[in-house]
Amino acid sequence: MGKHFFKLTFFLSIICIAPSIISCGNNRGKNRDHLVFRYNEHSNISSLDPAFARNPQNIWPTNQLYNGLVQLDDSLQIQPDIAHRWEIVDSTNTYRFFLRKDIYFHKNNVFGKDSTRTVTAHDFTYSFQRLGDPQVASPGSWVLQNVERFYAENDSVFTLQLKQPFPAFLGLLSMRYCSVVPKEAVEFYGNTFRRNPVGTGPFQFKMWEENVKLVLRKNPLYFEIDEQGVPLPYLEAVAITFLPDKQSEFLQFAQGKLDFISGLDNSYKDEILTTTGQLQPKYADRAKLLTSPYLNTEYLGFYMGSEKEEIQNLNLRRAINYGFDRKKMVAYLRNGMGIPAEQGFIPKGLPGFGNLEGFSYQPEKAKQLVEAYISETGDSTPEIAIGTNSQYLDICEYIQRELEKIGISVSVDVMPPSTLRQMKSSGELEMFRASWVADYPDAENYLSLFYSPNFTPNGPNYMHYKNELFDSLYHKSLSINAIEDRKILYQKMDSLIISEAPVVPLYYDMAIRFVNKKVSGLGINPQNFLFLKRAQKQR
């Protein structure tokens, strides 16, 4: 009881993140608050090691701590990072990166007392070897599955050679998995490197009391500058709390104790947003709303390996797709924060999206398809069950009500997220709610869900969908570098998905940020990654 009371008391107060930045209870602390960015991570953080940055809660803080060869801007264009330029030799699938010579690791005693050293190409060799090391067991080791070899030509040139063409490879290298880490720190800290991170990023590690608070401090050696030549970052510190309840997180934001919150939770969506997706008037003077297409497709998947007649029948799968109003669903259940998925599986924001006639709301057509199913099979009472977690229960219940109007009986099975993931992967659910958030900004990442060699558990094809024409188009797209030519193939593959309906696309998500009006330079991007090096706060 006492421990929980202490944590609650802590969270409901302004925290003292470091004596030199904030002094609790005095004017000096208040005067320095504009130098500290505060956010809450309700899902907790398991590791600050970039080799384990597999989800947003780990990616967000590691984005502040590390750099890689390349980075993405808010428009998902590839930009230099530690590599100031690169060249690609298509004939041999070789990538050569030319590194800056002014990049320093964060000061740490592993380099000598309060010392540091420059980053070299040999550090990338070590970092990539570590990423692929089975003993490390990084969930990001798949990034290297198409890499034949990599090596440092000298201190400033790092080379990778692929086994076969993969046009999306540069974007993949922007992932946090591909960050550079120093061998000295990894070997010194061993298994505790996860909570003793040493990187090159705009902020460096200060302290972490797990489940309570995490503090990062400005890196005075950071190499990036703004357009006026001012060194980044502008802030002195980042303070992260761990309130597990989203409603309490929202209350902290409403009270000005957090600088931003991300996403739209049912517990507060009507409190802060109108039904048309605008800020409620009472928040307009203290908050601003940032939105962007989010590289996330929400969908229902059919397990095509099921022997159930309803799942195997194309007419019924199409009837389900035509049988509910996606526009109404997004308007009323998401307060307009989403894009109805009526143009295929590839989300808005990627080449390959659009120019396709997907599934719109056509109830009469849906009823005709149900009648065709009954005529074909003799089954006059088609039934399906949808597996979901509680977060999406309202959407599944809406679909349930709509499909019953066209003659399909639907049951909704609610289960914990971990159970849903496991049963989805093992083919135990005939139909399931799922989402796919892009690992890297290329439509190939979405189409890989339908490539037959990627059947789970070997890959992300949870539907166990197989189509020889699709597989051949997918394989062909991997050898085409020109995005306009790849886009044509992507759209052909997406049209096959629409035609055979192994999924029910629901909506393309929106990245949503509610930001304190004192904050500028935060930005938003289609991957909803948090970058704080350009963020500023007014006094």
pLDDT at 30: 61
DSSP sequence for 323-368: SS-HHHHHHHHSTT-SEE--S-SSPTTSTT-SS-------HHHHHH
pLDDT over 70 at 209, yes or no: yes
**Do 71 and 95 fall within a single domain?**
yes
Is residue 55, in this structure, part of any structural domain at all? no
Give φ, ψ of 65 to 5 degrees: -100, -20
**Do 255 and 388 fall within a single domain?**
no
Q: What is the dihedral of CA 480, 483, 485, 489, to 10 degrees?
A: 80
Average pLDDT of span 345-367: 92
pLDDT over 90 at 64, yes or no: yes
For 19, half-sphere exposure in the C-beta direction (CA atoms, 13 angstrom radius) is 0
The rounded distance, in Å, linking the Cα atoms of 388 and 403 is 17
pLDDT digits (tens, 9 = 90+) for 84-112: 999 999 889 999 999 999 999 999 999 99
Helices (H), 232-280: 246-254, 269-272
Q: 152 pairs with which residues across the strands?
A: 158
pLDDT over 70 at 16, yes or no: no
pLDDT at 20: 45
The rounded distance, in Å, linking the Cα atoms of 268 and 72 is 31
**Do 323 and 462 fall within a single domain?**
yes
Query: Structural domain of residue 188, as residue ranges?
Result: 67-200
Q: Under a CB-based contact definition with an 8 Å cutoff, are residues 396 and 403 in contact?
A: no
pLDDT at 27: 54
**Do 425 and 529 fall within a single domain?**
no
**Do 217 and 186 fall within a single domain?**
no
Is residue 464, in this structure, part of any structural domain at all? yes
Reading phi first (left if > 0) and then psi (alpha if -120 to 50, else beta), residue 492 is in: alpha
User: Length of the chain, please?
Assistant: 539
pLDDT over 60 at 14, yes or no: no
pLDDT digits (tens, 9 = 90+) for 284-332: 999 999 999 999 999 999 999 999 999 999 999 999 999 999 999 999 9
**Do 1 and 93 fall within a single domain?**
no
In total, how many domains does the chain have?
Answer: 3
- CATH number, domain at 145? 3.90.76.10
Provide the 3-class DSSP secondary structure of residue 401. helix
pLDDT digits (tens, 9 = 90+) for 17-40: 444 444 444 555 567 889 999 999
pLDDT digits (tens, 9 = 90+) for 135-190: 999 999 999 999 999 999 999 999 999 999 899 999 999 999 999 999 999 999 99
pLDDT digits (tens, 9 = 90+) for 225-274: 999 999 999 999 999 999 998 999 999 999 999 999 999 888 898 999 99
And the tokens for 487? 């886009």
What is each CA distance from 239 to 12, 21, 63, 258, 491, in whole angstroms?
Answer: 14, 11, 14, 9, 44
Q: Under a CB-based contact definition with an 8 Å cutoff, are residues 158 and 150 in contact?
A: yes
Is residue 282, in this structure, part of any structural domain at all? no
pLDDT at 481: 84
Residue that has been written with the tokens 């107060």 in this structure: 13
pLDDT at 23: 44
pLDDT bucket at 117, cuts 50 / 70 / 90? very high
**Do 249 and 132 fall within a single domain?**
no
pLDDT at 237: 98
**Do 300 and 379 fall within a single domain?**
yes
pLDDT over 90, % of the chain: 84
The rounded distance, in Å, linking the Cα atoms of 102 and 88 is 24
3-class DSSP string for 97-155: EEECCCCECCCECECECCECCECCHHHHHHHHHHHCCCCCCCCCHHHHCCEEEEEEEEC
Of the two residues 427 and 12, the one the predictor is more confident about is 427
pLDDT at 366: 98
- CATH number, domain at 33? 3.40.190.10
What is each CA distance from 124 to 143, 153, 222, 342, 383, in whole angstroms?
Answer: 14, 11, 18, 43, 54
pLDDT at 8: 43
Reading phi first (left if > 0) and then psi (alpha if -120 to 50, else beta), residue 114 is in: left
pLDDT over 70 at 283, yes or no: yes
Is residue 247, in this structure, part of any structural domain at all? yes
Give φ, ψ of 261 to 5 degrees: -135, 155
pLDDT bucket at 11, cuts 50 / 70 / 90? very low
Identify residue 429 by its one-letter amino acid code: L
Is residue 528, in this structure, part of any structural domain at all? yes
Q: Which of 174, 200, 226 is the last residue of a domain?
A: 200
Least confident of 68-72, 185-189, 411-415, 523-527: 523-527
- CATH number, domain at 468? 3.10.105.10
Q: Under a CB-based contact definition with an 8 Å cutoff, are residues 103 and 119 in contact?
A: yes
Q: Which of 200, 228, 244 is the last residue of a domain?
A: 200
Average pLDDT of span 126-131: 98
Is residue 270, in this structure, part of any structural domain at all? no
DSSP sequence for 476-487: HHTT---HHHHH
Average pLDDT of span 474-493: 92
Q: Which of 200, 221, 240 is the last residue of a domain?
A: 200
**Do 44 and 123 fall within a single domain?**
no
pLDDT at 10: 41
Give φ, ψ of 531 to 5 degrees: -125, 125
Average pLDDT of span 127-140: 96
pLDDT over 50 at 62, yes or no: yes
**Do 247 and 355 fall within a single domain?**
no
Cis upstream peptide for 457 (omega within 30°):
yes
Identify residue 410 by its one-letter amino acid code: V
pLDDT over 60 at 349, yes or no: yes
Task: Give the number of other CB atoms < 10 A from CB of residue 222.
Answer: 20
**Do 324 and 445 fall within a single domain?**
yes
Is residue 60, in this structure, part of any structural domain at all? no
Q: Identify the CA nearest to 179 among candidates 132, 220, 131, 122.
A: 131
Average pLDDT, the chain: 92
The rounded distance, in Å, linking the Cα atoms of 108 and 129 is 23
pLDDT over 70, % of the chain: 94
Provide the 3-class DSSP secondary structure of residue 520. strand
pLDDT at 321: 98
Is residue 409, in this structure, part of any structural domain at all? yes
**Do 9 and 101 fall within a single domain?**
no
